[in-house]
Amino acid sequence: MELNVKFYLICFLDSLALGLFLPILSTHITTLGGTHTILGTLATLYTISRLFAGSLTRSWSDTFGKKAALLFILAINYIVYLPFGTTKSYVNLIVLRLVVGLTSQTQSICNSFISEFNSKESLPNVQSVTNVLAVAGFVVGPMIAGALYGETDGFYYICRFAAILLFICILIAVTLPNSTGTSSEVNLTFLTRAVSDLQKKFSKIGKLKFKEDWHIIALKFLHSVSATVFFMKFSMLLKVHYKLSSVIIGCTYSYQGSLTFLAPFIIPFINISKSNSSTVISLFIATVGFMGLCFAKTYDWYLISFIPMILAHTLLNATWKKAFTERSSKDYEIEGVQDGIGDIASIITPFIFGIFCDLYGVYALQSYTIIPMLLSILIAVITICPPSPIKRVEKKID
């Protein structure tokens, strides 16, 4: 088997195993006695665990080599999924899920591995294939899980299927050649590397000039809050509003995942003015889309509403990135700070939202999704849209 094909299979099967749990994990935790607060706590802790995952993987790669690190990751996840389907305690399930979050770096290490065995010319194409196959796993996985979960002991069989997929990955990984490359930070311990990575990610937030850029910071944060809540709990809307089965919910995950993947490729063909008003327009479209998703009377309208929302959501993410890049300079290095702001929103929001969701149910979901977007529109209209008096005078002089 060609070496690149082995990496393709590993990336696809690993993401397929992860994708199996997207539509059914929260439901299963609820059946074991978990509340929305518990689910929010899990989401917060899972996001935190992902912050350390890259540091752990690189430490293993530098210490043991990339092949051994890949085998460690696959073996740990394989072992985790064995008790995953049999435990009757949601606490145990949460702990096991956090282990998965801390070690699920298969695609990252495969892409790093691939760079050693491909030329610089072919590398982008090969890594693009691994990325597409990884997305395909997250699209196919929810459909399979949705179909199996409704059966007797469905969650058990889903976990067994995930374990089988990872076992196949292990068998393929064993046949890979040994890696020779390591990073320049080979002497760093995991903790030292983790601290360094966190500082790189969040230190730029401390450099922000809040008096000058507060509106862009607020817009990015509020947008992240809305997106975090919706993507975390939209299955709740599907159950409450439309009484959908696990099969349809799984297909909905796949549908939304496909559009989320395609959106960045569609955006360049959308003719939206690059003036300041385009940000307000994008916020307005995203807000209308979220409203449609939260209040759609039929499932068909829900599916239709997702299209403008995800396109505007993708455009806004590009807008925040561009805004901070344009404000960045040698003395004010804030390029990429939007990722740290988004991570903070992803850490804080789920736990707080979970408490309100236990109290108010679907109304909390609707409020936490729509109100931040409405506030964003208000802030954008006040701070971005009005032209400055100086520009008006210049136009008259001309």
CA-nearest of 124, 139, 142, 130 to 262 is 139
> Is the predicted pLDDT of residue 372 greater than 90, yes or no?
yes
Break the chain into its structural domains and give their ranges. 3-178, 205-386
29 compared with 269, residue with greater pLDDT: 29
pLDDT band at residue 393, thresholds of 50, 70 and 90?
very low
CA-nearest of 227, 167, 176 to 350 is 227
pLDDT at position 190: 84
Query: What tokens does 237 get?
Result: 């809307």
* C-alpha 308: how far from chain center: 19
53 Cβ neighbours under 8 A, 6+ residues apart: 101, 102, 103, 104, 105
At 35-74, the pLDDT tens digits run 999 999 999 999 999 999 999 998 898 888 899 999 999 9
> Is the predicted pLDDT of residue 391 greater than 80, yes or no?
no
> Is the predicted pLDDT of residue 267 greater than 50, yes or no?
yes
**pTM, rounded to two decimals:** 0.90
Cα 396 to Cα 357: distance, rounded to the nearest angstrom: 54
Average pLDDT value for the chain: 90
- For CA atoms 173, 174, 177, 183, give the dihedral sign: positive
pLDDT at position 392: 42
pLDDT at position 112: 87
pLDDT at position 244: 94
- Out of 3.40.50.300, 3.30.70.980, 1.20.1250.20, 1.10.10.10, which CATH number does the structure's domain 205-386 have? 1.20.1250.20
pLDDT at position 253: 96
pLDDT at position 226: 98
In contact, 73 and 106? CB cutoff 8 Å: yes
Cα 390 to Cα 375: distance, rounded to the nearest angstrom: 28
Overall fold of domain 3-178:
Growth Hormone; Chain: A; (1.20.1250)
> Is the predicted pLDDT of residue 274 greater than 70, yes or no?
no
pLDDT at position 304: 97
At 232-258, the pLDDT tens digits run 999 999 999 999 999 999 999 999 999
Do the domains 205-386 and 3-178 match in fold? yes
